[in-house]
Structure 1
Amino acid sequence: MKSVFDESTRTELTGRINLLTENSSAQWGKMNVYQMLKHCTMWDEWVTGTDTKKYPRAFLGRIVGRMALKSITKDETPIQRNAVSLAAFIIKETNGDIDTEKKKWITLIASYAHFSNPGFVHTFFGKMTTEQIGYFAYKHADHHLRQFNV
């Protein structure tokens, strides 16, 4: 299974990110390319610990989060379309510098080579192993890149 902790996977993601342009359009969902890039940079900042904000655990996640995580990280199946996102990562602004966000996201993807946030707690899934973080971070990036057909 692909993990952001593998150099070849990070190289693949970087190549796909570089294919995005201001003319890229979503195959599903409500985000434009800028919003998606901003969402992904914020998400990876959270996972890598660059963003130190604490987000509260979701009640439903406390009940079914562990089972959902195991289901999502058990195989190569992509994350389903229109999956729910943490409200803090829903980007309202519609315009911004796409090239800057691409560079930030690529830098964050590269930073997984030296990942050092083993205490990461996902708001829905709860405490995740480093292996689960690697799989899920790839699946999250892949989900949004497929959303924009790259």
Structure 2
Amino acid sequence: MNIYDSTDTNDLIVQINKLTPAKKPNWGKMSLDQMLTHLNVVYLMAFTDKDTPSNSVAKFLLKLIIKKGVVVPKPNPKNGRTEPQFIIKNAKNFDEEKKKLISYIEKVRDSGNSNFEGKESQSFDPLTAEEWNVLFAKHMEHHLTQFGI
């Protein structure tokens, strides 16, 4: 999937619109509304300074240990560890979170890959446009698969 491509993002939005509040996860602890919010946090972090690691040691460790697993096309494992800032504890409004997610997807697409080339990541320093693509696309695919889409 190419998050900068209109056809791919339109197909992704069709998939997201197949989600209904009745959907249950095939694995994991998140409810559907929590999963949508969890995905939104990743997009929020790409567009704001929220939750930036406070010291260079933390950022170095994230970059050294986590980055390779996040920005390579290999699928995320089921029931993998979720970093604390991405854990959603309370119930959220399904419709609002779904609309917000679609809006973020459209914002990334409309911004284009040139806007993401060398864009600072709060956890991993600058990423290439392709690394951002992999990060967003594989995370989305992982959670849509989690909910049977």
Q: CA deviation at 1:54?
A: 4.0
Aligned length: 141
In the aligned structure 2, how far is the partner of 1:4 from the partner of 1:91?
24
Query: 2:8 aligns to what?
Result: 9
AA partner of residue 127 (structure 1): P
The 1:126–1:84 alpha-carbon spacing in structure 2 relative to 1, beyond 3 Å, is farther
In the aligned structure 2, how far is the partner of 1:38 from the partner of 1:82?
17
Superposed structure 1 runs of 4+ greater than 3 Å apart: 57-60, 64-69, 115-118
Query: 1:121 aligns to what?
Result: 121
Among candidates 100, 120, 125, match of residue 96 of structure 2: 100
Scaled by the length of structure 1, what TM-score is found?
0.82
**Does the CA contact (< 8 Å) of 1:17 and 1:102 recur in 2?**
yes
In the aligned structure 2, how far is the partner of 1:107 from the partner of 1:58?
28
Where in structure 1 are there 5+ consecutive unaligned residues?
A: none
Where in structure 2 are there 5+ consecutive unaligned residues?
A: none
| Percent identity (aligned) | 29
The 1:15–1:5 alpha-carbon spacing in structure 2 relative to 1, beyond 3 Å, is same
In the aligned structure 1, how far is the partner of 2:138 from the partner of 2:122?
15
Q: CA deviation at 1:60?
A: 3.5
Scaled by the length of structure 2, what TM-score is found?
0.82
Q: CA deviation at 1:58?
A: 4.8
Q: How does 1:1-150 map to 2 (within 5 A)?
A: 2-47=1-46, 49=47, 51-56=48-53, 57-58=58-59, 60-69=61-70, 72-73=71-72, 75=73, 77-94=74-91, 96-113=92-109, 114-115=111-112, 116-117=115-116, 118-123=118-123, 125-150=124-149
Backbone CA RMSD of aligned residues: 2.0
